[in-house]
Amino acid sequence: MSREKLIKEIAEINRLIHEPARLAIMAALYGVQEADFLYLLNLTGLTKGNLSAHVSRLEEAGYVEVEKKFVGKKPMTLYRMTEKGRAAFRDYLKFIRQMGELGE
């Protein structure tokens, strides 16, 4: 691949997902049907504020949907990856794999 083409491909990377904290959230949600805040907190190792901010960015992009409900008397916030989010994450992983192959 030419140098120009490589630079162009790198520029096309999904920057919203490429950020490490959001990448960890996307990866955590990709493996499950739905999860709550504590689950994401444990799996990503982010702080509560950080996690909340990054999830909001992903929600704005339409990659994640949030549902607030009560389980008994306890409030629960559930996070689900949308089809758009799954497709974007799959494309991102494919791109990263291709870049890795190029680097070898």
Q: Which is nearer to other proteins, 28 or 64 (CB)?
A: 28
Residue with tokens 């140098």: 3
Q: Which is nearer to other proteins, 2 or 33 (CB)?
A: 33
Residue with tokens 């920057």: 15
User: Where does this chain bind other proteins (CB under 8 A)?
Assistant: 23-24, 26-44, 71, 76, 78, 93, 96
- Nearest C-alpha neighbor of 92 from the set 17, 30, 25: 17
CB 38 → other proteins: shortest distance, Å? 3
- Nearest C-alpha neighbor of 81 from the set 40, 30, 27: 30
CB 4 → other proteins: shortest distance, Å? 28
CB 3 → other proteins: shortest distance, Å? 27
Q: Which pair of structure tokens corresponds to residue 18?
A: 């490429």
Q: Which is nearer to other proteins, 3 or 68 (CB)?
A: 68
8 Å CB contact between 50 and 24 = no
